[in-house]
Amino acid sequence: MLDFFSIISTIDIFGTCSQEVEATTNAMYAVGVGQPYQNVVTANFSASNTQTYQPPFGVQFNNLSSNAQSFFWSFGDGTFSNEINPYHVYTDTGFYTVTLIADGGNCGVDTIIFNDFISIQPNNPCVFIMPINGTGNIITACQGTLYDGGGPNGNYADMSDAIITISPTVADKITLSFTFFDIEPGSQLYCDYDYVKIFDGPDTNSSSFGRFCNTTGPPGTIESTGNSLTILLHSDQYLTRHGFVANWTCQIFNVLPINSCSGLIQFIDASLHNPTFWFWNFGDGNYSNQQNPIHEYTNNGTYNVTLIAGNNHGTDTLVLTNAVTINRLELPNIENDTICQNESAILTSVSNGTILWYYNFVDTVPFHIGDTLITEPLNQTTIFWAQNYIFTPSQYVGDTRSNIEGGYYNFSSVQYLVFDCYTDCKLVSVEVNANSNGNRTISLLDSSGTLITSRTVYVSQGISRITLNIQLPVQNNFRLAGPPYPNFWRNNLIAYFPYTLPGILSIIKSSRLNNPFGYYYYFYDWEIKLPDCSSAKVPVYVYVDNCTLYFRKKQNLSKSCR
pLDDT, position 553: 41
What pLDDT score was predicted for residue 121? 81
Band of pLDDT at residue 429, cut at 50, 70 and 90: very high
pLDDT at 19: 64
Split at pLDDT 50, 70, 90, the class of 538 is very high
CA 149 to chain centroid: 24
Whether omega for the bond prior to residue 483 falls within 30 degrees of 0, making it cis, is no
| Residues 537, 358 contacting (CB under 8 angstroms) | yes
- Average confidence (pLDDT) over 247-266: 70
**Does the structure show a pLDDT above 70 at 559?**
no
pLDDT at 7: 32
The whole-number average pLDDT for the span 441-462 is 88
For residues 559 and 65, give the distance between their C-alpha atoms in angstroms, rounded to a whole number. Answer: 101
DSSP state of 107: G
pLDDT in tens, 119-175: 988 777 778 889 989 998 888 877 788 999 888 888 999 999 999 999 886 666 888
Q: Once rounded to an integer, what is the mean pLDDT over residues 382-395?
A: 93
Residue 561 DSSP symbol: -
- Residue 511: what pLDDT? 81
- In this predicted structure, what is the pLDDT of residue 209? 92
More confident residue, 480 or 494: 480
Q: Inform me whether the pLDDT recorded for 1 exceeds 70.
A: no
β-bridge mates for residue 118, sequence order:
96
SS3 19: helix
**Predicted pLDDT at 10:** 40
pLDDT of the residue at 311: 82
Give me the mean pLDDT over the 263-275 stretch. Answer: 76
- Give me the pLDDT at residue 197, please: 95
Q: Which residues pair with 416 in a beta bridge?
A: 481
* 297 DSSP assignment: -
Instruction: Reduce the DSSP state of residue 106 to 3 states and report it.
Output: helix
Distance CA 443, CA 446 (A): 10
Q: Which H or E element spans position 26?
A: helix 19-30
Identify the weakest region by mean pLDDT among 25-39, 71-85, 126-140, 315-329.
25-39
**Could you tell me how far CA 51 lies from the centroid of its own chain?**
24
Q: In this structure, is the dihedral angle defined by the CA atoms of residues 23, 24, 30 and 34, taken in order, positive or negative?
A: negative
pLDDT over threshold 80, residue 182: yes
Higher pLDDT, 393 or 549: 393
> Given phi > 0 = left and psi -120 to 50 = alpha, else beta, which region is 309?
beta
pTM score = 0.48
Helix H or strand E encompassing 9: helix 4-10
Question: What is residue 170's predicted lDDT score, i.e. its pLDDT?
Answer: 61
Mean pLDDT for the chain overall: 84
Residues contacting 87, CB < 8 A, separation 6+: 58, 59, 60, 61, 131, 132
Query: ∠ CA 143-198-155 to the nearest 5 degrees?
Result: 80
d(CA 253, CA 267): 9
- Give a three-class secondary structure readout of 359-423: CCCCCCCCCEECCEEECCCECCCEEEEEEEEECCCEEEECCCCCCCCCEEEECCCCEEEEEEECC
> Per-residue pLDDT averaged across 210-229, rounded?
89
On whether the CB atoms of residues 411 and 488 are closer than 8 A, the answer is: no
Distance of CA 28 to the CA centre of its chain: 53
Rounded CA-CA distance 87/157 in Å is 13
Distance CA 481, CA 511 (A): 9
Q: Which of 226, 206, 528 is nearest to 398 (CA)?
A: 528
C-alpha to C-alpha distance for 556 and 538, rounded to whole angstroms: 32
Q: How do residues 279-313 score in pLDDT, each as one tens digit? A: 999 999 999 999 888 898 988 888 999 998 888 77
Q: What is the DSSP pairing of strand 243-252 with strand 462-472?
A: unpaired
Question: Smallest Cα–Cα separation from 347: which of 367, 320, 325, 323?
Answer: 367
State the DSSP H helix or E strand holding residue 155, giving kind and residue range, or none if neither.
Answer: none
